[in-house]
Amino acid sequence: MNADEKFELITRGLQEVLNPQIIKDVLEKEERPLKVYWGTAPTGKPHCGYFVPMVKLAHFLKAGCEVTVLIADLHAYLDNMKAPLEVVQHRSRYYEFVVKAILKSLNVPIEKLKFVVGSSYQLNGDYTMDIFKLSNKISQNDAKRAGADVVKQVANPLLSGLIYPLMQSLDEEYLGVDAQFGGVDQRKIFVLAEENLNGIGYKKRAHLMNPMVPGLGQGGKMSASDPNSKIDVIEDPKIVKKKIGAAFCAPGDANNGLIAFIENVIQPIHELKTEERGSFSFYIDRPDKYGGPIKFDSVKELRDAFVNGNLSPVDLKAGVTDKINELLEPIRTAFEESKEFQAAAADGYPVEVKEKKVKKVKNKGTQYPGKVSAASEKNSSSVDGLSAKVGSVDLE
């Protein structure tokens, strides 16, 4: 590829690129591979939305980029204490297994990737000193605003949520990259980095932003903390079918999470696997009594059919269910074949065992219906005793 072709592939499908000239200068003037990093904080279990950044990592690698995946364990710990640090460390291992499994399933050579755990360098003295330097330049309000779309927001936020965006900005320097990649929800942190890294002697980087894929439930952001909005990457096929079946999908309205998933995940992955730009194939095994099997060769064709009523929500859900299970099958297999993968999941996301409630014995009180009084018991005993004596008389 020439520089223009590489730039097109690096920026393909992105919602926004900040400082694209930095990328062009690296490719055209310096004539070297672009160094880019993508960070992920190991909080909730990775879901199908992770296929979106994985597609871009595949694009980066195909364009000859040097790609670093940051497993941001300290960021996860700082995000409003979602999990203790020792649990976060197990989740870091789980995330690395997941990322590798997804990329392998997309035929991406993971040997070209570099994995770095945040705590391996974020605890050293130089990094800490730079955090202090940034904190002297960034106001409380700016730090809070930067993390508003990323850090969990609560009524009385912890100081850790203000440190989070400062660290993410600084990671660009310590990972030695030309660009940082993330979702468009990271934009405020990217701008914070661009505006402040120069102030402590570090260069400005480019920033690449993916669109956010709507959740498969009610259409909001697909979030690891909302079990109804996402499908785990090792989800059981029956659970996948159940969740897709419950997804909101109004007839004729193409602005739903299912079609968004097709556009942002299924189509780009098909394109990657076939190595054919714009290629697409979506097959729905529909019963003959409902019109028989149907196939679409473009996302536009599928979208138009849904809007026009030629594709029903039931059929769309069936097709998406089959595609998702097809994507997840190699990841489930990798999980089932690796004891380490399973151990990381068990230690990082322990199943909460709920204690059985002990049934409380009801106190009937002293005058409940049917209670025999002491006097009645005495009279009854006397009568019984008299009967016994009478019964014992020898009538002969």
The answer to which of 124-138, 264-278, 382-396 has the lowest mean pLDDT is 382-396
What is the reported pLDDT for 130? 96
- By C-alpha distance, which of 203, 143, 183 is closest to 167? 143
The answer to which of 192-201, 244-253, 354-363 has the lowest mean pLDDT is 354-363
What is the reported pLDDT for 363? 62
Average pLDDT on 25-34 reads 96
Task: Determine the angle formed by the axes of helices 339-348 and 85-105, rounding to 10 degrees.
Answer: 140
- By C-alpha distance, which of 56, 10, 5 is closest to 265? 56
Q: pLDDT-based confidence at 43, cuts 50/70/90?
A: confident
What is the reported pLDDT for 395? 36
| Model confidence at 221: pLDDT above 90 | no
State residue 116 phi and psi, 5-degree precision: -130, 130
What is the reported pLDDT for 371? 57
What is the reported pLDDT for 301? 95
The strand pairing partners of 71, in sequence order, are 40, 117
Are β-strands 16-18 and 206-210 bridged in parallel, bridged antiparallel, or unpaired?
Answer: antiparallel
Token pair listed for 133:
């330097």
Report the alpha-carbon distance of residue 302 to residue 198 in Å, rounded.
47
Q: Which residue has tokens 């996860």? A: 76
Residue 364 contacts by C-beta under 8 Å, 6 or more apart in sequence? 371
The answer to which of 137-146, 213-222, 296-305 has the lowest mean pLDDT is 213-222
The strand pairing partners of 183, in sequence order, are 210
| Model confidence at 366: pLDDT above 80 | no
What is the reported pLDDT for 388? 42
| Model confidence at 382: pLDDT above 80 | no
Query: Is this model's pTM higher than 0.85 or not?
Result: no
What is the reported pLDDT for 263? 93
Q: pLDDT-based confidence at 288, cuts 50/70/90?
A: confident
Query: Per mean pLDDT, which of 25-29, 41-45, 49-53 is the most reliable?
Result: 25-29
Question: b/e for 32-51, b at 16 or more Cβ within 10 A?
Answer: ebbbbbbbbbbbbbbbbbbb
Token pair listed for 384:
């019984």
What is the pLDDT of the chain when averaged over all its residues?
86
| Model confidence at 148: pLDDT above 70 | yes
112-122: pLDDT as tens digits: 789 999 999 99
Domains of the chain: 3-210 (3.40.50.620), 237-348 (1.10.240.10)
Q: pLDDT-based confidence at 56, cuts 50/70/90?
A: very high
| Model confidence at 1: pLDDT above 60 | yes
| Model confidence at 184: pLDDT above 60 | yes
What is the reported pLDDT for 151? 75
H helical segments located in 20-153: 20-28, 51-62, 73-78, 85-105, 119-122, 125-135, 140-146
Average pLDDT on 29-41 reads 95
Of the two residues 150 and 345, the one the predictor is more confident about is 345
68-101: pLDDT as tens digits: 999 999 988 887 556 788 888 899 999 999 999 9
Report the alpha-carbon distance of residue 240 to residue 328 in Å, rounded.
10
What is the reported pLDDT for 201? 95
Contact assessment for residue 257 and residue 47, using Cβ atoms and an 8 Å cutoff: no
